[in-house]
Amino acid sequence: MKIAIASGKGGTGKTTLSTNLASYLSEKNKVVLVDLDVEEPNSGLFIKGNLIYEEEKFKMIPKWVQETCTLCGNCQKVCNFHAVIQLGTMILVFPELCHSCYACSELCPTGSLPMTSKKMGDLKEYKKDNLSFIESKLVIGEEQAVPLIHQTMKYVDEKFGNDAIKIFDSPPGTSCPVIEATKDADFVLLVTEPTPFGLHDLKLAIETMKELKKDFGVIINKSGIGNNNVEAYCNEEHIPVIAKIPNSRKIAELYSSGSLLYNEIKEVKKELIKIEDFILRLKETK
Amino acid sequence: MRIAFTTKGKEWSSEMDARFGRTEFFIVYDEDKDQIEILDNSDSTKDAHGAGPKTAQKLFELKADVLITGNGPGGNAATVLEKTGMQIYVGAGEMTVKEAYEAYKDGKLKKF
């Protein structure tokens, strides 16, 4: 069972929901929480467990061998990402732009662009009772989140069976990293806030999930601020609003100290129970 | 000297384009021949990534000695341009091409 927690807009509460939901569900279930926001993972601020595994993650990039290169220009022509540039008698490789497709390397007639490995990030696994927490983080300067997200999901797939509830804290937005983080999910929870910005970006996220043919529902966070347009929109479009987490100063205070909410605030727990019911019903049908 | 400008149009009176990688056009003024060449760079809008180095490579093929632009090239493009030894002047993003050329001649533009 794979649940992705995503949003169009940033800062709507993906991590707040992911960490609280994962921790709460792990009281009765085997749960894996995976922070896929590899550019700036922050679930780890709220989940403190024992580090039980860590591994460096690599991607493959071409390296130019000047001695055998005939400067035919094939590599530059086949690269869709302008990661290989021919400049007179030089070939320049931009590792951050490279998508590891191997085209330049495979199509080089003299084998002058062998693929070599480059570190892109670190994966760490923590354990706290019934909760496994996986976090991957890009190294500074690395631009591409997708390869690390992909390798992290592969790690989770290989390590944990289908009996566990897997919660994927996804990056914000609707671009490639979000697609990668949500494409294998059985269900996507879209977290939004009841503001014009929240609704605008929610619509983009919904459009994306429809394109991916995903089942999804909406969680309204900071309920009570803004207006009712998000809910009206969801009703009109027949999109389930699964829970509404209230806006409160106490929540912000707990969040800012890295604490989980549901044991302190009963309204939050009540909403988590609604999500739990929804997920367990979903689990039976999958 | 061959001087390249990042521009939004094809005339001396055109506005400069502050961007490098995704500039709409280049105007290259060959001072010795007193001639202008135009390069349409609008296909750079199709590139999700890597517009900078690609544009820098095109500029290299235009054999420009000097680049006059607005914000200045980003990291990847700067890496390419550095290898070409091209002189780069920035801060002309709000000018017309003519004004930018005059500012360059008067030494009023900042070197990148």
pLDDT of residue A116: 97
pLDDT of residue A21: 98
pLDDT of residue A1: 92
Name the residue among A81, A87, A96 with its Cβ closest to that of B80.
A87
Name every chain A residue with its beta carbon within 8 A of the beta carbon of B84: 87
A82 and B54 within 8 Å at the Cβ level: the answer is yes
Domain boundaries, chain A: 2-57+123-285, 64-113
Mean pLDDT of A146-160: 96
Please give the interface size between A and B, counted as residue pairs whose CB atoms are below 8 Å apart. Answer: 38
ipTM: 0.78
Q: Is the pLDDT of residue A40 over 80?
A: yes
Name the residue among A88, A90, A94 with its Cβ closest to that of B53.
A94
CA–CA distance, B84 with B63 (Å, rounded to integer): 9
Residue B83, both tokens: 């290898």
What CATH code is carried by the domain that includes residue B102?
Answer: 3.30.420.130
The residue in chain B having the minimum alpha-carbon distance to the alpha carbon of residue A91 is B80
Question: Is it true that A2-57+123-285 and A64-113 share their CATH fold?
Answer: no
Q: How confident is the model at residue A284 (pLDDT cuts 50, 70, 90)?
A: confident
Name every chain A residue with its beta carbon within 8 A of the beta carbon of B76: 94, 96-97
Mean pLDDT of A167-185: 96
Q: Nearest to residue A69, comparing CAs of A95, A91, A54?
A: A91
pLDDT of residue A246: 96
Name every chain A residue with its beta carbon within 8 A of the beta carbon of B49: 81-82, 97
Name every chain B residue with its beta carbon within 8 A of the beta carbon of A81: 49-50
- DSSP-assigned beta bridge partners for residue A54: A124
A88 and B56 within 8 Å at the Cβ level: the answer is no
B49 and A82 within 8 Å at the Cβ level: the answer is yes
Taking the domain A2-57+123-285, which CATH number applies?
3.40.50.300
Q: Are A62 and A114 in contact (CB under 8 A)?
A: yes
Domain range holding B67? 2-111
Read out DSSP for A5-26? EE-SSTTSSHHHHHHHHHHHHT
The residue in chain B having the minimum alpha-carbon distance to the alpha carbon of residue A92 is B80
CA–CA distance, A170 with A184 (Å, rounded to integer): 12
Query: How far is B62 from chain A, CA to nearest CA, in Å?
Result: 12
pLDDT of residue A192: 97
Mean pLDDT of B8-17: 96
Q: Is the pLDDT of residue A286 over 80?
A: no
Number of structural domains (chain B) is 1
Architecture of domain A64-113: 2-Layer Sandwich (3.30)
> Using one digit for the tens of pLDDT, what is the confidence trace for B34-48?
999 999 999 888 887
> Using one digit for the tens of pLDDT, what is the confidence trace for A93-129?
999 889 999 999 999 999 999 999 999 999 999 999 9
Q: How confident is the model at residue A285 (pLDDT cuts 50, 70, 90)?
A: confident
User: Could you tell me what percent of chain A has a pLDDT over 90?
Assistant: 92
How many alpha carbons fall within 13 Å on the CB side of residue A137?
11
> Using one digit for the tens of pLDDT, what is the confidence trace for B72-106?
999 889 999 998 889 999 999 999 999 999 999 99
Cα B48–Cα A171–Cα A159 angle in degrees, nearest 5? 115
Name the residue among A81, A86, A88 with its Cβ closest to that of B49.
A81
Residue B29, both tokens: 């003024």
